[in-house]
Amino acid sequence: MNRVSTGIKGLDDMIRGGLIPKRPYAITGPPGSGKTTLGIHFLMEGIRNEENVVMVALDEPPNEIKFNAQAFGFDLGDIKILDAVPDIKGYRRGSLIKDVGTILDFHTMRDVRDIRMSRSLRIMDVSIHSVQKMLRQDAEDLYEATGEKYSRVVVDSMTALKMFGMKGEDQRILIQSFMRFIAEMEATCLIVSQTPEPDHLDTEVLLARGEIRLHKTKNRGMINRGVSIEKLRGSDFDETIRPIKITSKGIKVQNGETFNG
């Protein structure tokens, strides 16, 4: 069967060659475990194959993603990016609701400057609706201009979108509708989700067709990193947690070894 490479050889080996195309997958793990880096590997693999790829940045501003990725020697130039990192406008006293807005803006990574700024100045509330609307519009523009679709989408992260972008509405229903929209795009999609604890199942993780989990533990003053496949519908996979290294070349999986935590 046709598989989509994650851009990381050792990870492809764990899932028998790659992801089953046109489905959403969850990337889970604690902060600093390598979720964004994995997303960049995945998008860069698309760029290498001359595909159209897009990242929705909600966690980390594009200029910072670009700066960090350059340290890995990646040239992110052709990656399309939707800058949806929320700017907090104010708190309502006694309320959990944060009033957030942002400059929702599309550019390619090539046009992302060192300092965050925007050309179009479309200040909007960050919501699952506004992000979905921008993404749909951009996908339609791409299709009109080239007759092509996005083949790879990374949403980094759903956790941020949930925190800032859902004001009292039923989160579960909104996430379900967003996942349906993603499925309609017919792209292979990675949805980043920060897991508070390993067994906590967020809606996006439940609805995803697979879950790749990144591990980060401390042991005797050392940080240990690992990767495991928690589920993968329609495919056999390596059930061992494998150690990973993050170096100046990105993520490398140590396939023959076992993660010791």
Ligand X SMILES: Nc1ncnc2c1ncn2[C@@H]1O[C@H](COP(=O)(O)OP(=O)(O)O)[C@@H](O)[C@H]1O
Chain residues binding Mg ion by CB under 5 A are 35-36
Examine residue 224 and tell whether it contacts ligand X (CB under 6 A). no
248 binds, among Mg ion, ligand X, none (CB under 5 to 8 A by kind): ligand X
Smallest gap from Cβ 194 to Mg ion, in A, equals 8
Q: How far is the CB of 217 from ligand X (least distance, A)?
A: 14
Q: Return the amino acid letter for 4.
A: V
Q: Does 248 bind ligand X (CB under 6 A)?
A: yes
Q: Work out what residue 34 binds among Mg ion, ligand X, none; the CB cut-off runs from 5 to 8 Å by kind.
A: ligand X
Total binding residues toward ligand X, as defined by CB under 6 A: 14
Q: Determine, following the binding rule CB under 6 A, whether residue 72 of this chain makes contact with ligand X.
A: yes
Whether omega for the bond prior to residue 157 falls within 30 degrees of 0, making it cis, is yes
52, interface contact from ligand X, Mg ion, none, CB < 5-8 Å by kind:
none
Q: Which of 35, 66, 80, 209 binds ligand X (CB under 6 A)?
A: 35
Binding mask 12-31 for ligand X (x = CB under 6 A): -----------------x-x
The C-alpha atoms of residue 184 and residue 146 are separated, in whole angstroms, by: 18
Q: What are phi and psi of 238, to 5 degrees?
A: -70, 120
CB of 138 to ligand X, least distance (A): 23
Residue 34 contacts ligand X per CB under 6 A: yes
Burial track 35-68 (b if 16+ CB lie within 10 A, e otherwise)? bbbbbbbbbbbbbeeebbbbbbbbbbbbbbbbee
Contact flag: residue 37 with ligand X (CB under 6 A): yes
Phi and psi torsions of 20, nearest 5°: -75, 125
71 binds, among ligand X, Mg ion, none (CB under 5 to 8 A by kind): ligand X
- From CA 84, how far away is CA 7, in angstroms rounded? 25
- Read off the tokens for 144: 């009109």
Tell me which of 13, 17, 64, 68 binds ligand X, using CB under 6 A.
68
Distance of CA 229 to the CA centre of its chain: 16
Q: Report the residue from 36, 63, 151, 203 that binds ligand X according to the rule CB under 6 A.
A: 36
Residue 198 backbone dihedrals phi, psi, to 5 degrees: -55, -35
The residue within the footprint of ligand X, chosen from 1, 71, 115, 121 (CB under 6 A), is 71
Q: What does the CA dihedral 177, 1, 78, 57 come to, rounded to 10 degrees?
A: 30
Please, which residue, 12 or 59, has the CB nearer to Mg ion? 59
Crossing angle, helix 171-185 and helix 158-165, to 10 degrees?
130
Smaller CB distance to Mg ion: residue 26 or 139? 26
Do 215 and 29 contact (CB within 8 A), yes or no? yes
- What residues from 165 to 204 belong to the interface with ligand X (CB under 6 A)? none
At 25, list the tokens. Answer: 């997958």
Taking residue 165's Cβ as centre, other Cβ atoms within 10 Å add up to 25
| Positions in the binding site for ligand X (CB under 6 A) | 29, 31-37, 68, 71-72, 246-248
